[in-house]
Amino acid sequence: MKLATSTVCYSDASLDEALNRTAAAGWRNLELVAIPGWCHFDCNKDNTAMLKDLLAKYGLKLAALHAGGIQCTSAEEAKKSVEYFEKCMLIGTELGASRLVFTGSRRDQGGSLDNAIEGLKALEEKLDMYDFHICIENHYRNWFETIEDYDVLMGALADPRIGITMDTGHFTSSEVDMTAFIDRFGDRVKHVHVKDHIGTQSVAIGAGETDNLAVVNALAAKGFDGYLSLELEVEDKENTDGYVAEAREIMEEWAP
């Protein structure tokens, strides 16, 4: 297992500041939030050379890009999402990343898993062009949320390069049995968002209800060799730097 941290921890900071603070906390592998209209990088328009220079400046390796979500309201909208994902993979390939992370859209916006699958099959056809793992993330009240949702997704998408990002905080919010999930899909898990939650609220690692160590141990038993990627979306943002540094020490004990 490898350790990384996401720039979502610093969602209210500029890209330069987020990378500076990440490096200051002792992290070396980075998951970059690349969601258009929201922090920290837009693969449609932002400067890749600038990003490359900043990564070098702070001694960071780009491990993954989080591209947001696939729109599930229609097959056509899902395929538009995939067009952006491909741009992310193109930039990620240039910068040495190996994982593309995204979730679905909210159930209350309408749509279906079938729409998402049509878009994902279009993405599947392009994978020979890129050396990437596709990591479909669960999210609270999202089309990708439950064991049953992943039964449908993984059943429809057989390519081993298409796998799962387990978000432990969102599974806590959704009250999903993570041990049962790993028993069923452990061989498809390529990436983990390590979060700690009390209900639906993100808190510092170790301060909530989420049994992240049990998840790590269960994945280790399945031979997981991907990234454990820290995500924090805490309310007390003034304490974020301390939480990010503490989380690195905790996670290094889990996966030395």
What pLDDT shows up at residue 147? 98
Q: Which sign does the torsion angle of CA 81, 83, 87, 93 carry?
A: positive
What domains lie within the chain, and their CATH numbers?
A: 2-254 (3.20.20.150)
Whole-prediction pTM value?
0.96
Beta strands in 2-114 (DSSP E): 2-6, 29-33, 61-69, 99-103
**Residue 138 carries which DSSP code?**
P
Q: Are 36 and 42 in contact (CB under 8 A)?
A: yes
- For the chain, percent of residues with pLDDT exceeding 90: 97
Question: Over the stretch 169-201, which tens digit does the pLDDT of each residue have?
Answer: 999 999 999 999 999 999 999 999 999 999 999
Q: Span 110-118, mean pLDDT?
A: 97
Q: Span 117-128, mean pLDDT?
A: 94
Average of per-residue pLDDT values in the chain? 96
What pLDDT shows up at residue 44? 96
* Cβ-proximal residues to 105 (8 Å cutoff; 6+ apart), any chain: 69, 70, 71, 72, 73, 111, 142, 143
How far CA 185 is from CA of 114, 133, 148, 161, 235, in Å, comes to 20, 15, 11, 14, 32
What pLDDT shows up at residue 175? 97
Q: Span 140-158, mean pLDDT?
A: 97
Q: Which of 117, 133, 45 is nearest to 82 (CA)?
A: 117
Q: Span 93-120, mean pLDDT?
A: 96
Q: Is the pLDDT of residue 256 over 80?
A: no
Question: Over the stretch 202-226, which tens digit does the pLDDT of each residue have?
Answer: 999 999 999 999 999 999 999 999 9
- For the chain, percent of residues with pLDDT exceeding 70: 100
Q: Is the pLDDT of residue 245 over 90?
A: yes
Q: Which of 63, 81, 149, 65 is nearest to 114 (CA)?
A: 149
Question: Over the stretch 7-23, which tens digit does the pLDDT of each residue have?
Answer: 999 999 999 999 999 99
Beta pairing class for 189-194 and 61-69: unpaired
Q: Which of 71, 1, 2, 66 is nearest to 34 (CA)?
A: 66
CA 256, CA 253: separation in Å to the nearest integer? 6
What pLDDT shows up at residue 176? 98
What pLDDT shows up at residue 255? 86
What pLDDT shows up at residue 103? 98
Question: Over the stretch 45-62, which tens digit does the pLDDT of each residue have?
Answer: 999 999 999 999 999 999
Q: Coil, helix or strand for 22?
A: helix
